[in-house]
Amino acid sequence: MKLKFWGVRGSIPSPGDATVRYGGNTTCIEIRSDDNELIILDGGTGIFPLAQTLLKCLPVTAHIFNTHSHWDHIQGLPFFIPMFIPGNVIKLFGAFDPVSGEGPERIMNMQLQYSYFPVSEAELKSRIEYIAMMPNETVTVGDATVTSVLLNHPVINFGYRINCNGKSIFFTGDHEPHFNIYEPGDDAHDEYQALIDEQRLCIIDAMRGVDILIADSSYTENEYQTKKGWGHGTFDGCIRLALDAGVKTLYCTHHEPTRCDNELENVFSDALNRHASISDKLDVRLAREGVEIVI
C-alpha cells in the first residue's frame, strides 16, 4: 500500500510562508492499494491538488471515505475535478446521521446549492454514488477492506481502518479521548467511567497492531485544558493511544492552524522529550503535506 498526505491542517486552511514546510491545506489523504485502487480519506482543501494529478489517468474510480461533516473535512469536495467529467465514478462513503435521517449525500446536497456554489449537484457529469455506513461495517475496495469505527467528536465521526494484503492503516479523523463528565464521588461517576473505558478499549482493539496510525493531535496538554469537549486530541494522548494499541508508526496530524511550522516542531519536540523512554517501541512523526509512504 501507498499513502500520501495532501492536507494535514485542521479547522481552516492556513497557507503562507509560516506553514510552507508542513502545508496549509485541510485534511485529505490518498491511499493506493496494491492493485492501485484509489481510496481517499476526507475531502478537505487538500483534495483539490490531488484532483489535478488524477486528470492524467482518466477515467478514475474514486472511493472517498468521509470521517464527518465539519467544513475542514468536506470543503474541497466541490472542487474535486473528476466529478465534473463524464466516465468517472465517485463513491462517497460516510455515516448515516440519525438526527437528519440522511447519509453522506447530505454533504454534497448542502454544499452544491447556488447560494454557496455556482454548479448544482444535478449538473455534475460523473456517476456519483452515496453509501451510508454504520459503525464497524466493512467495505471491500478491490484488494483492500475499509472498516468504519465510531470515535469521539461533537458530530458522528468515523475512523477508518484500511487492510490490504497484511498491511494496515488507521485514520482517526477528529477524535478526543473520552473523559468522565462526572466528578469523583458523584453517583453516576463509576458507571460512566466503566462505559468510557469500554469505548476506549473498543477503539484500541480496532486499531490494534496497524502499521500506521494517523491521529488527531491538535493540542498540547496545556492547550487542551481550555478546549475540552471540542473534539480533538493531544500529542501526548495520541502517543499513549498508539502504545496501548501496539502501533508501529504514529503520524500526528490535524495541525493547529494558528501554529507556524517552527512552533509545530517545538511542541512536537517537547512531546517526544516527555516520552523519550518509548522511542524503541514507537516511531512518532509529524504528518507533512506531500509526503508519500510505502508500507
Q: How many CB atoms lie within 10 A of CB 178?
A: 17
Look at the pTM and tell me if it is higher than 0.95.
yes
Given this structure, which CATH class describes domain 2-294?
A: alpha beta
Q: What pLDDT does residue 251 have? A: 98
Residue 106 contacts residue 97 (beta carbons within 8 Å)? yes
Mean predicted confidence (pLDDT) in 267-282: 92
For residue 85, what is the DSSP state? S
Q: What pLDDT does residue 35 have? A: 97
CA distance 223 to 204: 24
Percentage of the chain with pLDDT > 90? Answer: 95
- Which sequence spans correspond to the domains of the chain? 2-294
Q: Is residue 279 predicted with pLDDT exceeding 80? A: no
Helix (H) or strand (E) holding 249: strand 249-253
Q: Which three cell numbers stand for residue 56?
A: 492524467
Place of cell 458530530: 155
Sheet arrangement for strand 28-32 = 127-133, 89-95, 61-65, 38-41, 28-32, 2-7, 292-294
Q: Is residue 189 predicted with pLDDT exceeding 90? A: yes
Q: Which three cell numbers stand for residue 168?
A: 494496515
- For β-strands 138-141 and 38-41, DSSP reports them as unpaired
Q: Tell me: the pLDDT tens digits for 210-258?
A: 999 999 999 999 999 999 999 999 999 999 999 999 999 999 999 999 9
CA distance 271 to 69: 30
What end-to-end distance do the CA atoms of the chain give, in Å? 5
CA distances from 128 to 106, 134, 216 (A): 13, 20, 29
CA distance 68 to 71: 9
Confidence of residue 182 (pLDDT cuts 50, 70, 90): very high
Q: Tell me: the pLDDT tens digits for 91-122?
A: 999 999 888 889 999 999 999 999 999 999 99
CA distance 47 to 20: 17
